[in-house]
Structure 1
């Protein structure tokens, strides 16, 4: 199984997961042209995509969805609440009703040879989920846009070979920054986004000997920067209550403007 971030950040998100016979996207939050370029960089094309897994309906996760789905007739997998929210967004244009494939949190399903496990997350969207994808004994996970995590979240992220988790903001940068107070409270709240510190603490809960790669994703453009996210998460891991140090694992920041390295698991 191959795993790659095409783009990740507060302005747009799109992740590739695939086997030799199946190719999926998790979210399509940038233009169809940008997604196609990202796929071409890993020797794939949009017409090869077998499905798009949508986490929730915010623009940075669905901006290119309408164009891609219409042009290539790609099935869209999302919860009923997310599908209803997507249908209410006129800027996406009309999407054929038959392309929508309703899913439920905690209800595993298969797309060809990939097994998909959606699980609920705490975010201010209609019915958001994160995803775990498994194939042939290997597993990857994508968990962004969660204000808090708990034992349920940790359980769904255990025993992964690779993971992309949110490290959205530095708390101090957010608090002293230019955002209006209500927006700051929303981001810091239980239905907002994970800070760098909390990303590191979540990572401490799911580390194990087989974990090959950690991507830090969904960084805020205004309230974070790559080096700070990386150093903060690494400090949490090394100083945290776990048997590992940060340099025991490849930890890298997923870029907002180019593909991450492809990870084979």
Structure 2
């Protein structure tokens, strides 16, 4: 049994990440339609009924679009904090009481040998949070949908083997793009999304001897490109004397295609 994952989809059109240790499998967010989620599972040869539950990060539609459908169809437990549960009321349909579980910020829940630690992020949602997965000495961090990465967050996610890390936008592309200023201001704010450069600066503070791969996630389809994100992050990391060619692999995610199953 070893820790592994696939970023099934990542971007403003929908987000979902599958994490498993072989005994227990967990889905983090279900931000695409039920049919799309089923197709993504088929592409990575995994079965939705095998899930031990769905972990919710926050109530925005690109993270919960298919949540209610999947939970009802497959009788899956859902884990979210109280404020997120309240915010999802009316958005995901009726969920049976026995499928509703509370998972608050700062808690750690155990699924067999797989431990899941939650931590708060800075985003314009009720009480957004993301997750660190621990199995033995292995550590996988998922962190997107945050306007900045605080010292508290860095302390929690430091020296992970692998990261799924937000690299949402190129600042100049965003500033020059077609979005109304109100949306640009929201994205650039402390409760929006981190840019390529700010993500890289945070990465430089948390990368440790264990770190092998970083998956750049939640890229804006209008204000970023995979090549620009990789180049921008690599440039900042190299300036910080972190060798991305020999020591750390920067990897893409996609809004429609899952990554290969990756063993941590």
Task: Using the TM superposition, give the Cα deviation of residue 179 of structure 1 relative to its aligned residue in structure 2, in angstroms.
Answer: 0.8
Instruction: Answer with 205-214 or 146-155: which moved more.
Output: 205-214
Give the alignment partner of residue 243 of structure 2, picking from 242, 245, 248: 245
2:38 is the counterpart of 1:15: no
2:84 is the counterpart of 1:65: no
Structure 1 counterpart of 2:84 = 82
Asked if the contact 2:5/2:18 (under 8 Å) is kept, the reply is yes
Task: Using the TM superposition, give the Cα deviation of residue 170 of structure 1 relative to its aligned residue in structure 2, in angstroms.
Answer: 0.7
Asked if the contact 1:235/1:246 (under 8 Å) is kept, the reply is no
Task: Using the TM superposition, give the Cα deviation of residue 38 of structure 1 relative to its aligned residue in structure 2, in angstroms.
Answer: 1.9
Structure 1 counterpart of 2:142 = 142
Task: Using the TM superposition, give the Cα deviation of residue 250 of structure 1 relative to its aligned residue in structure 2, in angstroms.
Answer: 1.2
Structure 2 unaligned segments of length 5 or more: list them.
none
Give the alignment partner of residue 47 of structure 2, picking from 45, 56, 61: 45
Task: Using the TM superposition, give the Cα deviation of residue 209 of structure 1 relative to its aligned residue in structure 2, in angstroms.
Answer: 2.2
Structure 2 counterpart of 1:197 = 197
Q: How big is each residue's C-alpha offset from its partner over 1:6-46, in whole Å with a ceiling of 9 and x where there is no partner?
A: 00011110001001110001111012222222222222111
Question: Hey, what's the Cα distance between the residues in 2 that align with 1:37 and 1:164?
Answer: 22
Structure 2 counterpart of 1:166 = 166
State the TM-score, normalized to the length of structure 2. Answer: 0.96
Task: Using the TM superposition, give the Cα deviation of residue 245 of structure 1 relative to its aligned residue in structure 2, in angstroms.
Answer: 1.5
State the TM-score, normalized to the length of structure 1. Answer: 0.96
Instruction: Answer with 13-22 or 106-115: which moved more.
Output: 106-115
2:164 is the counterpart of 1:154: no
SS at match of 1:246: coil
Asked if the contact 1:213/1:263 (under 8 Å) is kept, the reply is no
Structure 1 counterpart of 2:186 = 186
Task: Using the TM superposition, give the Cα deviation of residue 95 of structure 1 relative to its aligned residue in structure 2, in angstroms.
Answer: 1.7
Structure 1 counterpart of 2:257 = 258
Task: Using the TM superposition, give the Cα deviation of residue 115 of structure 1 relative to its aligned residue in structure 2, in angstroms.
Answer: 0.6
SS at match of 1:50: strand
Task: Using the TM superposition, give the Cα deviation of residue 59 of structure 1 relative to its aligned residue in structure 2, in angstroms.
Answer: 0.4
Structure 1 unaligned segments of length 5 or more: list them.
none
Question: Hey, what's the Cα distance between the residues in 2 that align with 1:23 and 1:226?
Answer: 28
SS at match of 1:81: helix
Question: Hey, what's the Cα distance between the residues in 1 that align with 2:38 and 2:114?
Answer: 22
Aligned pairs, number: 261
